[in-house]
Chain A
Amino acid sequence: MANIHTFSACLALADLHGDGEYKLVVGDLGPNGRQPRLKVLKGPSVLTESPLPALPSAAAAFLMEPHEPRTPALALASGPCVYVYKNLRPYFKFSLPPLPPNPLEQDLWNQAKEDRIDPLTLKEMLEGIREKAEVPLSSQSLRFLHLELGEMEAFVAQHKTQPIRRQTVITTMTILKKNLADEDAVSCLVLGTENRELLVLDPEAFTVLTKMNLPSVPVFLEASGQFDVEFWLTAACRDGNIYILRRDCKRPKYCIELSAQPVGLVRIHKTLVVGSTQDMLHSFTHKGKKLWTVPMPAPILTMSLLEQRSRGLQAVMAGLANGEMRIYRDKALLNIIRTPDAVTSLCFGRYGREDNTLIMTTRGGGLVIKILKRTAVFGEGAGEAGPPPAQALRLNVPRKTRLYVDQTLREREAGTAMHRAFQMDLYLLRLRAARAYVQALESSLNPVSATLREPLKLHAVVQGLGPTFKLTLHLQNTSAVRPAMGLLVSCLYNESLYALPRAFFKVPMLVPGLSYPLETFVECLSDKGISDVIKVLVLREGQSAPLLSAHINMPVSEGLVAA
């Protein structure tokens, strides 16, 4: 394993030493994103490696000045800074200009510095600013607002002398040609920041040439054209929209709403290809008109451009979560490359001395380098065309069986008789059911009482192995409001088999809705392994007909049988 954990934005190919041998620059996040390193690879091996102060968010190689030797510089965006390397040596560090603090906030802290304001008032005032102000508070004030009362004093004492600062970070970076369209022309760096701005930097002086505002935080950035002539910047943002900006406009000119998060952005000539979290590739014109949509079989992890200059081919590569890397030209699938692990970053271009090299890193930290045959031609039709394969499968219909045929024949012959017999039996069944029901109602054999005046429910549980069992009767009054009083429980049983300490007892008042467990012990007197039924009757005082009854099938006493 090459142990490289990175994103497509942090991969760059460049002829760093000007010897015609292209190297791969990797801004490596390290395992779990803990050891950020800058790695330069030659072939499959690491040439140099150096630790970085913070996680890199993007890497790019660009030409700083038009003079010879034309060796490109390397820019690495990390936190609020861009580190620029020349000949693989640190050359310059550009930091984003700090954001202007909120003047009111500044004023408050100045007062605190001179001890003209107590911490509580400070807190209230800051809260007020947070609610309304356009300019957000600095992290110092935000931290202060979250403090407990006791800690405030110390915090103010410690921090009041410090000027309040607001710093932002770089989220994405790309390069834009300065004034020539040539392959090796001087390029500007374009930075996207967390405070929703795009900055274009001068390649030599590293001053901010222009600043543009976005409605949301940029995630992916694409640039085309030349800075001094006319250019387009395309930014895929965290609100799921893609904004297209042009020279001389501070605000986005077009907006594409995806209604999902973009996971990759590739520009081919004047069309944009965007991968979304809905497992789709969408294509739009540079004016935001929708062109086509292709569904993907798995979530897209990363996307990049494949450009084969010798044949004038430009295609989109998409690394999917199922370990496939798909190549599309417009809607047509050109090829699928299967990798042992899901591809997390992609890069295509000149590597070493080979013009068309594909570099992929996988989720587990692997590095895959593939070289395109010089004679290779991408043909369409590698994808699924024509009817889906399932169309050729036979339907799963069960075969005709002998039995089925016999039964059908019998029904044809004797249909009427069958029908009559069935109807007759059905009537008999209904009659019997009705009779049994009436009988049960009449003799109160059912565990739910039938009288409207005393709606009761009884359910019995027998516990134990024997010879002593515990019999629990759950008695519930199901009426809505009326409590039941004056009820008795009587147990009928074979006295030669069982002995009950209490065969007849009173039931307490039953509050509606509650289930009352009434417990009694049953002793089995027989050692012959036989069991019998115990009948439990619930009666009303002064009435001989039971309200309801339950027949409890007692289990065999295992305790005695075992003995």
Chain B
Amino acid sequence: MAEEKAPTTTQFPGTIEPQKPRLKKAPEFPILEKQNWLIHLHYIRKDYAACKALIKEQLQETQGLCEYAIYVQALMYRLEGNIQESLELFQSCAVLNPQNADNLKQVARSLFLLGKHKAAIEVYNEAAKLNQKDWEICHNLGVCYMYLKHFNKAKDQLHSALQLNRHDLTYIMLGKIHLLEGELEKAIDIYKKAVEFSPENTELLTTLGLLYLQLGIYQKAFEHLGNALTFDPTNYKAILAAGSMMQTHGDFDVALTKYRVMAYSVPESPPLWNNIGMCFFGKKKYVAAISCLKRANYLAPFDWKILYNLGLVHLTMQQYASAFHFLSAAINFQPKMGELYMLLAIALTNLDDSENASRAYAEAVALDQSNPLVNLNYAVLLYNQGEKKKALAQYQEMEKKVTLLKGSSSLDFDPEMVEMAQKMGAALQVGEALVWTKPVKDLKSRHRTTSANKSSNLQQPLGSNQALGQAMSSAAGFGKTTQLPAGAGGASQFSKPPSLPLEPEADPAEAISSEVQEQRETQKSSLAPE
């Protein structure tokens, strides 16, 4: 066949016919683009070794004139992380073919990756002159402006990118800008549109779910997170967020099954082990809880939320000395939270250091804005120390907070706390605290985890045993020595849903005031990876 072929080709009537005689006079130039298709095929198949060999050969043959070969070489350099080299090659492409907007776009992209956003913007603007209707240019310009913090310009560019062509990435960036500006509602609108456009993008679904979570719209949050998990049952963020919601509702076993998937794929995630620990805590498996939390702490030693939870669990286990260490470490990382000081005070009270305990309470009261528990616990301590007047002041402060909270949301207060407060009111001979009447009726018998343990906490300072304390607490009118089972303070659960939404991103502000709330923490940590 080979022999046949050669003669036949010359007989082909065709366009090459007239060139034949000239071939002898001067060497013909190879077609510069002749191997481009093969270079491209190797490149998209990620067969970089073959691609490089071919490019080298091609560049030798054309003496470096093959624009596409240089272009792909530059792309591969960039993939390998040699951004500076890739930039130089792209620039030489732009010299070979100044009319091609693609070359300029890649130059700009490399500049962007090198962090030279202003230079990148200039080059993108050049490219935009060559190609008006390119979403990529608009999108990347928007991203550059975002990093330069020109949010308005960035939004304009991203919106025009969306008008040219809709891409998930553009939606994500636009949403991010709104979040950076603190406009949660607008971000949600953007993500809603994005989910409409591409309903199977798990990243979009998860982000939207987390945003709803921050706003406290749990139904929608769970819906979107659930959707994300349907499409990708191993999605890290969605599992963490959905799991933490389950924990809030007490579905510890379901949450644990979900976490197992993650523990397999991401075994070194601190928030994961924190959440697992708090699941065990909810199931009253304290030893397992401690070991999981300690693992989380080992993985993220500077995370105060984990330390907070560790402190809480140790308080529950009556290991006050350990609790003290974890809590004081947490305070070192997060010195602005009243509840932490309150827990520290409880630990100190149990360690017979009432002097430091009252200092810690004073700090807690000064920092805390809305948690009546802090004041109640302080009142109990003051009362036990015999400082009735100060105790009364704290008690009144607590009543104020309770009235405020009742006005703002329909929470039910922890029954133990309510009971404690009533006893305290009686002991202080304040008129039967009307504040409580309503909530008491509303109380659901929520499962309280370890509050029983805790209630014993504060008794100890009074030097009486728990049974006695409880027995006596019913007789409210006793003197100082009466134990108001101050425990309520330590243990009561006080749910503050509004706390969560306040932090838009990573910063999970609120530690949980009591054990049941820990799960909340977990959510926060789950938000953190964003």
Query: Complex Cα distance A18/B335, Å?
Result: 87
Q: Are B263 and A143 in contact (CB under 8 A)?
A: no
Q: How many residues of A contact B (CB 8 A)?
A: 88
Taking CB atoms, residues of chain A closer than 8 Å to B97 are 136
- A55 to B505: give the CA distance in the assembly, Å: 55
| Cβ-based interface call for B324 (8 A) | yes
- Docked CA distance A172–B198 (Å): 31
Which chain B residues border A131 with CB–CB below 8 Å? Answer: 98
- Of the listed stretches B7-15, B148-156, B244-252, B475-483, chain A binds B7-15
Q: A84–B353 Cα gap in the complex (Å)? A: 98
With A172-B37, A390-B264: A50-B1 Cβ-Cβ less than 8 Å: yes
Please measure, in the bound complex, the distance between the C-alpha atom of A418 and the C-alpha atom of B50, giving whole angstroms: 68
- A391 engages B257 (CB within 8 Å): yes
Bound-state Cα–Cα, A304 to B350, Å: 73
Tell me if A's interface is mostly helix, strand, loop or mixed.
mixed
Bound together, the chains give a CA A62 to CA B14 distance in angstroms of: 21
Nearest Cβ distance between residue A34 and chain B, in whole angstroms?
10
- Smallest distance from the beta carbon of B68 to chain A beta carbons, Å? 8
Alpha-carbon gap, A261 to B39, bound state (A): 13
Q: For the complex, what is the distance from the CA of A520 to the CA of B99, rounded to whole Å? A: 69
Q: Is the CB of A33 within 8 A of B54?
A: yes
Question: A328-339 CB contact bits vs B (8 Å, 1 = yes)?
Answer: 000000000000
Separation of A295 and B203 alpha carbons in the complex (Å): 13
Check if A507 is an interface residue, CB within 8 A of chain B: no
Identify the 6 closest CB pairs spanning chains A and B, nearest first: A50-B1, A390-B264, A93-B12, A171-B37, A90-B8, A139-B29
CB distance from B362 to the nearest CB of A (A): 20
Q: Which of A93, A161, A165 has the most CB of B within 10 A?
A: A93
The residues in B between 1 and 43 inclusive whose CB is less than 8 angstroms from any CB of A are 1-2, 4-5, 8-9, 12, 14-16, 19, 22, 25-26, 29-38, 40-41, 43
| Neighbouring A residues of B167 by C-beta, 8 Å | 257, 259
B438 close to chain A: CB less than 8 A = no
Query: Does A292 lie at the interface of the complex (its beta carbon under 8 Å from any beta carbon of B)?
Result: yes
Contacts A90-B8, A165-B19, A390-B260 known; A259 to B65 CB distance under 8 Å?
Answer: no
Beta-carbon contacts of A219-241 to B below 8 Å, as 1s and 0s? 10000000000000000001100
Offer 23 A-B interface pairs, CB within 8 angstroms, sorted by A.
Answer: A32-B50, A90-B5, A131-B98, A139-B31, A139-B62, A139-B65, A140-B29, A143-B29, A143-B65, A158-B25, A162-B25, A171-B36, A194-B33, A217-B37, A219-B44, A390-B260, A391-B257, A393-B260, A395-B263, A396-B263, A400-B287, A408-B319, A419-B324
Complex Cα gap A336–B308 (Å): 49
Contacts of A292 in B (CB 8 A): 200
How long is the Cα–Cα vector from A95 to B12 in the complex, in angstroms?
A: 10
Contact (Cβ within 8 A) B36 A169? yes
Contacts of B2 in A (CB 8 A): 50-51
Nearest chain B CB to A544's CB is how many angstroms away?
44
* Neighbour of A194 across the interface among B37, B261, B322, CB < 8 A: B37
Contact A388 B31 (CB under 8 A): no
Question: Nearest residue in B to A413 (C-beta to C-beta)?
Answer: B318
Which residues from B are CB-within-8-Å of A97?
Answer: 15
B321 interfacial by beta-carbon distance below 8 Å:
yes
Q: Is the CB of A93 within 8 A of B287?
A: no
Do residues A7 and B4 form an inter-chain contact, with CB atoms below 8 A?
A: no
Cα separation A98 to B14 with both chains bound (whole Å) = 11
Shortest Cβ distance from B193 into chain A, in angstroms?
14
Task: Give A113 Cβ to nearest chain B Cβ, in Å.
Answer: 13
Closest to A133 in B: B99
Measured CA separation A72–B257 after assembly (Å): 60
B256, A395: Cβ atoms closer than 8 Å: yes
Q: How far is the CA of A398 from the CA of B298 in the complex (A)?
A: 14
Q: Distance (Å) between the CB of A435 and the closest chain B CB?
A: 24
Residues of B within 8 A of A412 (CB): 317-319
In the complex the two chains form, what is the Cα distance from A262 to B41 in whole Å?
10
Residues A257 and B135 in contact, CB atoms below 8 Å apart: yes
- Nearest CB in chain B: distance from A132 CB, A: 8
Asked if A55 contacts B38 (CB within 8 A), the reply is yes
Contact B15 A146 (CB under 8 A): no
Of the residues A93, A142, A162, contact of B9 by C-beta under 8 Å:
A93
A residues 355-409 in Cβ contact with B at 8 Å: 387-388, 390-398, 400, 404, 408
